[in-house]
Amino acid sequence: MARLPRIDVSGALYHVIARGNQRRVIFRDAPDYRRYLDLLRQYQDRHKFTLYAYVLLPNHLHLLLSPTRVPLSKTMQGLQQSYTRHFNRRYRLVGHCFQGRYRAILCDSDAYLLELVRYLHLNPVRARLTRTVDRYRWSSHRLYLAGRDARGVAVETVLGQLSPTRDRAVMAYRSFILEGLPADHRDDLYEVIRQRILGAERFAERMEREARHSPPKLPVDVSLEAITREVARILGTPEASMRGQGRSRPAALARAVVTYLAREEAGLSLRTLARFLGRDDATLSLAVQRLEARLAVDSHLAAKVSHLRRALRRRSRRKVRKQIIKA
């Protein structure tokens, strides 16, 4: 049977499985595990997916996540390629680290989220890597026992399905995990519809319908100069200071906002932006990461950036209308 294309639905729950090439070991020691988790967090910061659980084992890994603004395929491509570079460089190897393309099962979160979290966390016991799930270091299980969101894992969202009170939710979670022992393989969690969907037929039909009717987000047709002018107007920072060598905080913030919007809305590369702003790629990348973290807690700045997004899209639509009229 021919392999069907992936279904990309923003906000849907995906169970991702990636195996080592020819089932070889991909995590040889603690630094390898830590490097993959560091990369996972970096891509989460950049692509803004929601991570519910993870487990890394010597020759494969499982992730439970929901993509938002960036397709899952793009996230996984970058993540796997970045780790492959680390692995090959560290062990002086060439070629593939992972076996073919990863598997992504689109899941009905209402029916399977809790079951999948338990399945992932019991994997090390199932593989006889540990006798007790609490002792395994390379999964998100210990974060659940702490009962709080940490390291990018949406612990509280899942525990909220067990109890509205944190302490009771953690107790219920621990009992739920123990009920899953002995940790036998769960064939039912791989019994998918049309090779790629875990859920009832009605759920599968709805997901396929949403995928068909969800057009990709297209970049706006707006120049870098226009973005810079708009940012200067809203933030009150002179354009010259953004493209100069000034290190003042207002200029640094404005440059970060220009970079953020130009990548998110206009689809411009970091290299192009670095040349335009007179900075190196690494500096701008770090500035955007800091900006994204600030946007999560600074509602005043977030409102300004949202206003800038809308202004750039309006400008782009006016440009398109003028082109249509001229034609």
- Beta strands (DSSP E) in 145-242 are 197-198
Confidence of residue 324 (pLDDT cuts 50, 70, 90): very low
Q: Using CA atoms, how far apart are residues 49 and 41, in angstroms rounded to an integer?
A: 10
Quote the distance between the C-alpha of residue 193 and its chain's center. Answer: 25
Query: pLDDT averaged over the chain?
Result: 86
Residue 2 or 231, more confident: 231
- Tell me what the mean pLDDT of segment 154-168 comes to: 93
The answer to whether domain 224-326 has CATH 1.10.1750.10 is yes
For position 9, what pLDDT does the model report?
82
218 CB-contact burial (10 Å; exposed 0-12 / middle 13-18 / buried 19+): exposed
For 56-70, 191-205, 229-243, which range has the lowest pLDDT when averaged over its residues? Answer: 191-205
Q: 13-212: what fold?
A: Alpha-Beta Plaits (3.30.70)
Q: Using CA atoms, how far apart are residues 20 and 190, in angstroms rounded to an integer?
A: 19
For position 4, what pLDDT does the model report?
62
For 76-85, 160-169, 299-308, which range has the lowest pLDDT when averaged over its residues? Answer: 299-308
For position 227, what pLDDT does the model report?
92
For position 316, what pLDDT does the model report?
65
Q: In 3D, which of 234, 301, 305 has the Cα closest to residue 265? A: 305
Backbone angles phi, psi at 2, to 5 degrees: -65, 145
* The pLDDT of residue 299 is above 60: yes
Q: Using CA atoms, how far apart are residues 104 and 195, in angstroms rounded to an integer?
A: 10
Topology match between the domains 13-212 and 224-326: no
For position 166, what pLDDT does the model report?
94
* The pLDDT of residue 176 is above 90: yes
Q: Running DSSP on this structure, what letter comes out for residue 265?
A: T
Domain regions of the chain by residue span: 13-212, 224-326
Confidence of residue 230 (pLDDT cuts 50, 70, 90): very high
Q: Using CA atoms, how far apart are residues 175 and 35, in angstroms rounded to an integer?
A: 32
Q: pLDDT tens digit string along 98-154?
A: 987 799 999 998 899 999 999 999 999 999 999 999 999 999 999 999 999 988 999
For position 183, what pLDDT does the model report?
67
> Between β-strands 13-19 and 197-198, what pairing exists: parallel, antiparallel or unpaired?
unpaired
For position 1, what pLDDT does the model report?
42
Backbone angles phi, psi at 56, to 5 degrees: -110, 130
- Tell me what the mean pLDDT of segment 258-274 comes to: 86
Q: Using CA atoms, how far apart are residues 280 and 293, in angstroms rounded to an integer?
A: 21
